[in-house]
């Protein structure tokens, strides 16, 4: 157990410092420390790194931080929040997307809550100076290889789904996406001129057996705690990396006799998600397929603004973030749905800190706010109350408090 922190519940201002950048080729990082939290009877303290990022990131993080703080305090948890710049915000401040100081603050924390990264302003930057590189560096260097993306259709939001009620109702799946390998990280990669003088762009889908095994184990364990069904999604009819993927996942199945394993090609999976999403319980897939399928799944649930995610490694802090981007089209207009980030804070409590009661408080409060009819624009349907990001946050906050009033 770590020593108790000296400070608590204090928001540090964003530091301005000369930027040192992390690079894609920096593989020298020592393993992440083992996560631990100060525990004394009735009181626990945790260091939380807040990385608001760009666009709607700061709006949704500010709301989620308040909810996290409140739910935690009702369960005897105290948080020391440290807010640091990443992405475009860091580029503007110090000229690099992930300053060393931001990475160190994240790495030394007990858990990380991230908003979103990116925006039009930096779209024409050179690749190493694009805001999104901060995400790649964070995921790679924190070694958070397992990305859990739950996608459930809440009864309150069935009508917000793009699918017919009878197809959407009752959908409850978990997408387990491999996050630190595959084509997003594989070498060789680049743009060069071929022998005919023509430019060619290329990337490499690369998976080592151990990378497949460790994500498959997370998926089998996840399925075991859910409805016991695991669907592995690949493209084994075309891609060699997928042939190995299928072979390794199949080999592991004998260790999980209580889990029913099936395989599906990714093109079929994309179709089945729309045709009959209820057939899925847990899905495990590679980095790029998981990226795409989880965005698709988000629309079944009503909005990309509803879906949280957790990225976990073997040790060290987990990274918790909504699956949406920085939504520059609505940034600064108080239109963002903060629920994905608030639910990411619940995942932080549950998967990052092992604080299930506080997590449940947040989940219940989100449902209570929806039950009262509060809706941001992306999930609005006639008859409900249209609210902005801040007001939705206030309503969730009130519901966190109301739960106490009801149980005292």
Which residues lie near ligand NAD (CB under 6 A)?
56, 116-119, 132, 135, 304-305, 321, 324-330, 336-337, 340, 378
Given the complex with ligand NAD, which of 234 and 291 has the nearer CB atom?
Answer: 291
Neighbours of 28 (CB within 10 A): 6
Q: How far is the CB of 383 from ligand NAD (least distance, A)?
A: 20
Considering the candidates 143, 291, 378, 403, report the single residue annotated as catalytic.
Answer: 291
CA distances from 225 to 191, 286, 302, 330, 401 (A): 44, 21, 25, 38, 30
Given the complex with ligand NAD, which of 241 and 323 has the nearer CB atom?
Answer: 323
Given the complex with ligand NAD, which of 144 and 261 has the nearer CB atom?
Answer: 144
Coil/strand/helix, residue 100: helix
Alpha carbons 341 and 115: distance in angstroms, whole number? 7
Enter the tokens of residue 12: 């540090």
Q: How far is the CB of 39 from ligand NAD (least distance, A)?
A: 32
Q: How far is the CB of 272 from ligand NAD (least distance, A)?
A: 23
DSSP state at residue 273: H
Q: 184 catalytic, yes or no?
A: yes
Q: Give me the residue label for tokens 């624009």.
A: 377
Q: 141 catalytic, yes or no?
A: no
Enter the tokens of residue 360: 């449940």
Alpha carbons 151 and 301: distance in angstroms, whole number? 7
In sequence order, what are the residues at sequence separation of 6 or more whose Cβ sits closer than 8 angstroms to the Cβ of residue 360? 346
Q: State residue 303 phi and psi, 5-degree precision.
A: -165, 150
Given the complex with ligand NAD, which of 43 and 329 has the nearer CB atom?
Answer: 329
What are the start-end ranges of the H helices in 109-163?
Answer: 133-142
Given the complex with ligand NAD, which of 221 and 334 has the nearer CB atom?
Answer: 334
Q: How far is the CB of 56 from ligand NAD (least distance, A)?
A: 6
Q: 120 catalytic, yes or no?
A: no
Q: How far is the CB of 326 from ligand NAD (least distance, A)?
A: 4
Q: How far is the CB of 319 from ligand NAD (least distance, A)?
A: 10
Given the complex with ligand NAD, which of 99 and 220 has the nearer CB atom?
Answer: 99
Considering the candidates 172, 295, 334, 364, report the single residue annotated as catalytic.
Answer: 295
Q: Give me the residue label for tokens 């994309």.
A: 270
Q: How far is the CB of 204 from ligand NAD (least distance, A)?
A: 21
Alpha carbons 69 and 399: distance in angstroms, whole number? 14
Considering the candidates 184, 207, 256, 351, report the single residue annotated as catalytic.
Answer: 184
Q: State residue 234 phi and psi, 5-degree precision.
A: -150, -170
Asked if 315 contacts 307 with a C-beta cutoff of 8 angstroms, the reply is no
Considering the candidates 235, 335, 350, 403, report the single residue annotated as catalytic.
Answer: 235
Asked if 71 contacts 360 with a C-beta cutoff of 8 angstroms, the reply is no
Given the complex with ligand NAD, which of 133 and 400 has the nearer CB atom?
Answer: 133
Q: How far is the CB of 164 from ligand NAD (least distance, A)?
A: 22
Q: State residue 71 phi and psi, 5-degree precision.
A: -60, -40
Chain Cα centroid distance, residue 165: 27
Q: 267 catalytic, yes or no?
A: yes
CA distances from 268 to 43, 168, 231, 234, 396 (A): 49, 18, 12, 10, 38
Given the complex with ligand NAD, which of 145 and 220 has the nearer CB atom?
Answer: 145
Enter the tokens of residue 82: 């440290």
DSSP state at residue 31: P
Q: 295 catalytic, yes or no?
A: yes
Alpha carbons 326 and 334: distance in angstroms, whole number? 13
Q: Which residues does the annotation mark as catalytic?
A: 184, 235, 267, 291, 295
């Amino acid at each position: 157990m770590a020593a108790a922190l000296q400070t608590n519940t204090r928001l540090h201002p964003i530091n301005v410092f000369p930027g040192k950048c992390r690079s894609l080729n920096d593989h020298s990082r020592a393993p992440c420390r083992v996560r631990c939290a100060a525990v004394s009877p009735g009181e626990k303290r945790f260091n939380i790194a807040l990385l608001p990022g760009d666009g709607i990131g700061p709006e949704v993080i500010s709301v989620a931080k308040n909810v996290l703080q409140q739910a935690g305090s009702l369960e005897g948890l105290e948080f020391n929040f440290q807010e640091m710049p990443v992405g475009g915000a860091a580029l503007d401040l110090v000229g690099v997307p992930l300053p060393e100081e931001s990475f160190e603050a994240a790495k030394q924390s007990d858990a990380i809550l991230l908003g979103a990264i990116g925006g039009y302003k930096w779209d024409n930057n050179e690749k190493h100076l694009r805001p999104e590189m901060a995400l790649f560096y964070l995921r790679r260097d924190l070694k958070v290889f397992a990305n859990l993306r739950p996608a459930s259709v809440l009864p309150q939001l069935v009508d917000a789904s793009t699918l017919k009620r009878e197809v959407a109702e009752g959908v409850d799946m978990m997408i387990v996406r491999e996050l630190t390998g595959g084509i997003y990280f594989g070498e060789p990669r680049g743009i060069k001129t071929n022998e005919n003088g023509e430019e060619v762009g290329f990337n490499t889908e690369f998976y080592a057996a151990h990378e497949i095994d460790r994500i498959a184990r997370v998926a089998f364990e996840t399925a075991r705690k859910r409805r016991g069904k695991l669907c592995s999604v690949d493209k084994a009819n075309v891609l060699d990396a997928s042939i190995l993927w299928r072979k390794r996942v199949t080999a592991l199945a004998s260790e999980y006799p209580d889990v029913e394993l099936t395989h599906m090609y990714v093109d079929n999976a994309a179709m089945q998600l729309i045709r009959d999403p209820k057939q899925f319980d847990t899905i495990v897939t590679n980095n790029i397929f998981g990226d795409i399928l989880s965005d698709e799944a988000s629309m079944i649930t009503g909005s990309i603004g509803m879906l949280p995610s957790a990225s976990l490694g073997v040790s060290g802090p987990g990274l918790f973030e909504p699956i949406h981007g920085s939504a520059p089209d609505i940034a600064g207009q108080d239109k963002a749905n903060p629920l994905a980030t608030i639910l990411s804070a619940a995942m932080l409590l549950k998967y990052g800190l092992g604080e299930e009661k506080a997590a449940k408080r947040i989940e219940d409060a989100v449902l209570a706010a929806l039950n009262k009819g509060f809706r941001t624009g992306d999930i609005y349907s006639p008859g409900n109350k249209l609210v902005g990001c801040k007001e939705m946050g206030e309503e969730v906050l009130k519901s966190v408090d109301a739960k106490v009033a009801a149980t005292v």
